[in-house]
Amino acid sequence: MTASDDIDSAAPSDGPAASVAPGPSAFSAIGVAPELAAALTALGYEEPTPIQREAIPPLLAGRDLLGQAATGTGKTAAFALPLLQRCVTGEPRKNRPSALVLVPTRELAMQVAEAVHKYGKAKHATVLPIYGGQSIGQQLRVLDRGVEIVVATPGRALDHLNRRSLVLDQVKMAVLDEADEMLDMGFAEDIEAILSKLPTDHQTALFSATLPPRILSIAKQHLRDPIRITIAKERPVAGEAPRVRQVAFVVPRAHKHAALGRVLDMEQPTSAIVFCRTRIEVDELTEAMGAQGWRAEALHGGLIQEQRDRVMKRFRGGQSELLIATDVAARGLDIDHLSHVVNYGVPSDADDYVHRIGRTGRAGREGVAITFVEPREHRLLRNIEFATRQKIRVENLPTVADLRSRRLELTKASLREAVLAGELDPYRSLVEELSNDLDVMDLAAAAVKLAHDASYAASGDQAEEQDLVFAPPPPMQRAGIASPSPHDPSRARLFVGAGRIDGLRPGDLVGAIAHQAGVPGNLIGAIKVTDRFALVDLPVAAIDHVIESLRGIAFNGRRVVFRRDLHG
């Protein structure tokens, strides 16, 4: 007997909406409370989607549910509306939410939290997205103050459970969204641990795009007499080709490090694997990306098993966002569901290309495959296009203007996040006071400007002005490179006429200054490496000696200029 034998089956539904009258009454007709239905009308939803029509009534009636549905079917509202209706009382308890939604990724956590917030505005629903990579302090404060709905990735949820900052004994409804993705990401044990903390009388809804045996066994164990719903994808794609956006950039070898940084800054991957040809390339690139503020991990055949396990654990746990690997080392590893796959060079075999990019773009989410092509490698790219019968678009590298608008988007996203996280009361009175004599729109625009400048001030310095081809954008929330301190009269700045695009790393400078000039490492201050030059903070007394000692030194075959930086 398979697990699914135990589960009620409703007829699969993929047809058009049934004849329910449009307008808020179409939602009211399936039991949605008037204030929630009004919010939907305001959003322009005219009638429930098939999954909403099938899932909402049983969920409102308190039934457990097993739903097979992909993203884009309206499944978020299908569980969010019953959740809002059944769990939100307007009286959040400290650390004890009444609803818990588990999702595989940070994006989905934000997206679902935002949808719940939007639908539940009239009920003043409090919702908190929690995911790894975000400061835990703020999450702790909001949980402590009390939220009714928590939308979390399993790892971070477990973290909070262990700290007792999240207690699940009041949960009335738990939702597992994209359960197959969560299992693929290795969250099976975390999910079990979390579900075991729920009170016995809670309701559970499990949504998954596919229903492999592992999901059915979770359903069998944790769902009580569930109603089962299957919603066919709207437009089944012929051959189930993965949705992967394939792009290529032509980049000369010397510019590849910087170009990768820039492309990734535009793309903002949450988990990406970068394929390199050799161990040395892996190590160099890992260091270069680390110096640009990325959390990058190297994986190659030179690592012992224990090191590899550690690397993979950090990558799967979201503590690193880039896995830089040789093909051989990555082969056989259970890492799919990546947001991005990067071919740092064109793979010589079309099968390798197909295999690599198959690791991204799953379960209804678009994946991105990026390929760097050195000018002489053009033919290899054509070979791949020929073998795969797919066109790979060659695009221009993002420009400074592209990055600027991307940063504005990120500022917008973090403002949305701040609104969701709440804790704004202390500022509200300030806004009220200022709005006595200032226009609220002007006020908001000024606040956005300050927030934006604060995140990106570091990139507005000479690096960006001088470096229009490969400006380094220090992204938000990433470890920046400390700026030298120009105001201390005992210190001075050394200008180095080589930068990231020459392959220069902070370690190279420390090595040269310590070994060639004999300046002890502890006297070498902050080092800033931009794409085209670098600045090193040094004792003023040592600077002339350092310049003298380094005169004539070449880096990667190019003589490098060293001089005292006039600004420092």
Do 129 and 177 touch, CB atoms closer than 8 A? no
Among 260, 254, 245, 531, smallest CA distance to 397 is for: 260
Provide the minimum distance between the beta carbon of 202 and ligand AMP in the complex, in angstroms, as a whole number: 22
Provide the minimum distance between the beta carbon of 158 and ligand AMP in the complex, in angstroms, as a whole number: 25
Decide the pairing of beta strands 149-152 and 127-130.
parallel
Rounded Cα distance between 148 and 87, Å, is 7
- Which residues contribute to the site for ligand AMP (CB under 6 A)? 45, 48-49, 52, 71-77
- The residue written with tokens 């350092």 in the block is 546
Task: Give how far the C-alpha of residue 31 lies from the chain's centroid of Cα atoms, to the nearest Å.
Answer: 36
Provide the minimum distance between the beta carbon of 339 and ligand AMP in the complex, in angstroms, as a whole number: 17
Provide the minimum distance between the beta carbon of 23 and ligand AMP in the complex, in angstroms, as a whole number: 12
Nearer to ligand AMP, 77 or 88 (CB): 77
Rounded Cα distance between 25 and 30, Å, is 9
Helix (H) or strand (E) holding 356: helix 350-357
Do 35 and 124 touch, CB atoms closer than 8 A? no
Nearer to ligand AMP, 107 or 385 (CB): 107
Sheet with 127-130, strands from edge to edge, namely: 127-130, 149-152, 99-102, 173-176, 203-208, 65-68, 227-230
Provide the minimum distance between the beta carbon of 448 and ligand AMP in the complex, in angstroms, as a whole number: 24
Residue 273 β-bridge partners: 323, 341
Helices (H), strands (E): how many in the chain?
Answer: 22, 20
Nearer to ligand AMP, 43 or 468 (CB): 43
Dihedral through CA 154, CA 155, CA 156, CA 158, nearest 10? 80
Do 400 and 471 touch, CB atoms closer than 8 A? yes
Helix (H) or strand (E) holding 35: helix 34-42
Nearer to ligand AMP, 82 or 290 (CB): 82
For ligand AMP, the nearest residue by Cβ is 76
Provide the minimum distance between the beta carbon of 156 and ligand AMP in the complex, in angstroms, as a whole number: 21
Nearer to ligand AMP, 48 or 104 (CB): 48
Nearer to ligand AMP, 72 or 301 (CB): 72
Nearer to ligand AMP, 52 or 292 (CB): 52
Provide the minimum distance between the beta carbon of 270 and ligand AMP in the complex, in angstroms, as a whole number: 17
Nearer to ligand AMP, 66 or 258 (CB): 66
Rounded Cα distance between 95 and 263, Å, is 40
Provide the minimum distance between the beta carbon of 90 and ligand AMP in the complex, in angstroms, as a whole number: 24
